[in-house]
Amino acid sequence: MKLRLAPGQGLSLRAADSDDRFDVRLRARQRAATTWQVFFLVSTIVGIVALSALLYTIADRSFGYVAVQNKVPPEQLTVDGVPVEQQPAARLASLLRERLSSGVLRRLDSEAPLEERSQSELYQLVLGRVIEPEIKASWTLTDSLIRPAAVRAQAAAKYPGAGLQFRSWLSLGFLRHPQSGTPADAGVRTAILGSLWTIAITILVAFPIGVGAAIYLEEYAANNALKHAIQMNISNLAGVPSIIYGILGLAIFVRDLEPLRAAPPSAPPTQPPPADAAFSRPA
Amino acid sequence: MRDELALGAPTRGELARVIESGWGTDLRRRRRAGENLVQGFLLVCGAISILTTIGIVYALVKDSLPFFTSREFSLVEFITGTRWQPAINEFGIWPLVSATLMTSAIAMLVALSLGLGVAIYLSEYASARARSVLKPVLEVLAGVPTVVYGYFALMSMTPFLRSVFGRDVVDIYNTASAGLVMGILILPLVSSMSEDAVSAVPRSLREAAYGLGATKPETALKIVLPAAMSGISAAFIVGVSRAVGETMIVAIAAGAGPNLTLNPFKAAETITGHIVRIGGGDIAYDTIDY
């Protein structure tokens, strides 16, 4: 008798009629097996899909068409067929003098006289104060790539005076400009510097103390209650939500160490508590 | 024989003298001066963990003790009250707790089911090459900053939910999208800890099950999973603690106002989101609101 076993099919040592029952159950079990396998695969795929969705969202909003409306169209400033960004510095300076108000001109001149500035600097001034581009609307990358005609129609309908440009929001300017109220000029420079400061101080504090504690626990500590207390505390602290650390920082480093701080405190330390009914004790 | 002994081995007299003076004293006095200093410094490094725990307890108790001992506070109302409005002295904690529980429940539902699925797939089904690719990719999910997840929840998950369930069913700020994105955040945590637990189950158990005719999922679910249960429950507990303490995702995506509701599509504020809003705002330090 030749026995051929399929995967998942075991060897039954019982009588023949229960072999049939076993076979019927076997098919159901194999169906269930396939379903579960699909579920396990789908779980993994959901994780990958989530990550891709995250990256796709970021990329989608970083590039796309923008509708730009200029207060004064640059074509108006063309002289003898020379567009404004290529005009010489002297021409740009006289353009600024005739267009800007006297107060602004006085302020600019007090920083550095217009005639002594470079051409690129003067062009930036012209761009910022005369042409004044304003971004009216932006579209995502998918919209810009897949339905450009619809985007154009939308822009023409809602912002008739605006031109359509393809803009990459991630640019070198994005990294170099500080925060700004106008989205076109805004950058992450201050945020990046702040993050770098925080990371540097964190590493300077955490690394020596962490390695020191590890060496102590491994090499020096006797197997007593103190060692167990330290190890238990370290495990506990790893699980504390970060907002509790924020409260700790606020209470100890900001409030209690206030005399050591360089900056003036946000509220005068000698201010008596406000007359709040909840805190009043019976006189 | 006397010559060999004279070279290095102590005589009986020398031995007796060392024993009488106490074994270790000579060695201890010969320690270098800096060694005590180094050991002291390293001990301080280790003790900083204890100091941090004490600091956390002190900071929390110092600021909340006036609240808990003030006249306006009643423990019964705190635990059973359903409105949190400190301005008019209503201190029911239930709106905040219910929102926290709801987001954590949604997150754990997502993270536990999908995390176990990923763990079983990676340890039972995937080839070594697939595992070497998929594991790091899923670990990337754990490395994304939670602020980015918060904005992802607000910018992508909420519009998606609104398109699926309808714009009038789902608010702009809702706990469902925060819970789902939190589940995605915790998924790699649960899956990596579960996978370690599942891989640690000895092969002999699995082979015995296959030998008796079990299918792969049956082995995984009925033999391996119960055997790995201690590791998986550890993963579950770590995931729950992460979900309850998660701040930024709910602060950004779940809403800014305590709201007692069981509807996950409405805005509600969790305990952590409330702390962020109050602590970062302009509530003065000594008021009862703080």
Q: What is the 3-state secondary structure (H, E, C) of A240-255?
A: CCHHHHHHHHHHHHHH
Burial A36-59 (b: 16+ CB within 10 A, else e): bbebbeebbebbeebbeebeebee
Quote the tokens at residue A97.
Answer: 């003098």
The pLDDT of residue A276 is: 43
CA distances to B41, B71, B255, B258, B289 from B90, rounded to whole Å, are: 49, 13, 20, 12, 11
Vertex B45: Cα angle to A260 and B241 (nearest 5): 90
| C-alpha distances out from residue B156 to A51, A55, A56, B253, Å | 13, 11, 10, 11
DSSP 3-state of B259: coil
Kindly determine whether residue A252 and residue B52, on different chains, have CB atoms separated by under 8 Å: no
Residues 191 through 250 of chain A touching chain B, CB cutoff 8 Å: 208-213, 215-217, 220-221, 229-230, 233-234, 236-237, 239-248, 250
pLDDT digits (tens, 9 = 90+) for A246-275: 888 888 877 777 777 666 655 554 444 444
Reported pTM: 0.73
Contact A47 B279 (CB under 8 A): no
pLDDT tens digits, one per residue of B16-26:
776 666 554 55
Task: Tell me the pLDDT band of A209, cut-offs 50, 70 and 90.
Answer: very high
Question: Tens digits of per-residue pLDDT, B47-58?
Answer: 888 899 998 898
3-state secondary structure of A168: strand
- Nearest CA of chain A to the CA of B177: how many Å? 13
Q: How far apart are CA A139 and CA A142, in angstroms?
A: 8
* CB pair distance less than 8 Å for A248 and B52: yes
Task: Judge whether A122 and A92 are in contact, CB under 8 Å.
Answer: yes
* pLDDT for A1 beyond 90: no
Domains of chain B: 88-280 (1.10.3720.10)
Give A199-202's long-range contacts (Cβ < 8 A, gap of 24+): none
The answer to whether A40 contacts B118, with C-beta atoms less than 8 Å apart, is yes
Residue B120 has pLDDT above 80, yes or no: yes
The reply to whether B226 touches chain A by the CB within 8 Å rule is no
Q: Which of B49, B118, B141 sits opposite A234 (nearest CB)?
A: B49
pLDDT in tens, A22-78: 777 888 888 888 999 999 999 889 888 988 888 888 888 888 888 888 777 777 777
Mean pLDDT of the B31-36 span = 77
- Rounded to whole angstroms, the Cα distance separating A230 from B40 reads 15
User: Above 70 in pLDDT, residue A12?
Assistant: no
* Two tokens, residue B73: 């506070």
Of A14-23, B71-80, B147-156, which one has max mean pLDDT?
B147-156
Does A255 contact B285 at a Cβ distance shorter than 8 Å? yes
Residue-wise pLDDT tens digits, A98-135: 877 888 888 878 887 777 777 777 777 777 777 777 88
By the 8 A CB rule, do A237 and B53 touch?
yes
Task: Provide the pLDDT for residue B81.
Answer: 73
Q: pLDDT category, A208, cuts 50, 70, 90?
A: very high
Q: What is the mean pLDDT of residues B99-122?
A: 91
Cβ pair B245:A242 closer than 8 A: yes
Quick check: A283 pLDDT over 50? no
Strands (E) across chain A are located at: 63-70, 133-138, 163-168
Q: Which helix (H) or strand (E) holds B225?
A: helix B225-227
Of A99, A100, A90, the closest CA to residue A122 belongs to A90
* Res A96: pLDDT: 79
The upper half-sphere exposure of residue B57, i.e. CA atoms within 13 Å in the direction of its Cβ, equals 9
Establish if B208 touches chain A: CB-CB under 8 angstroms: no
- Tell me the pLDDT of chain B averaged across its residues: 82
Which residues in A lie closer than 8 A to residue B48 (C-beta atoms)? 209, 213
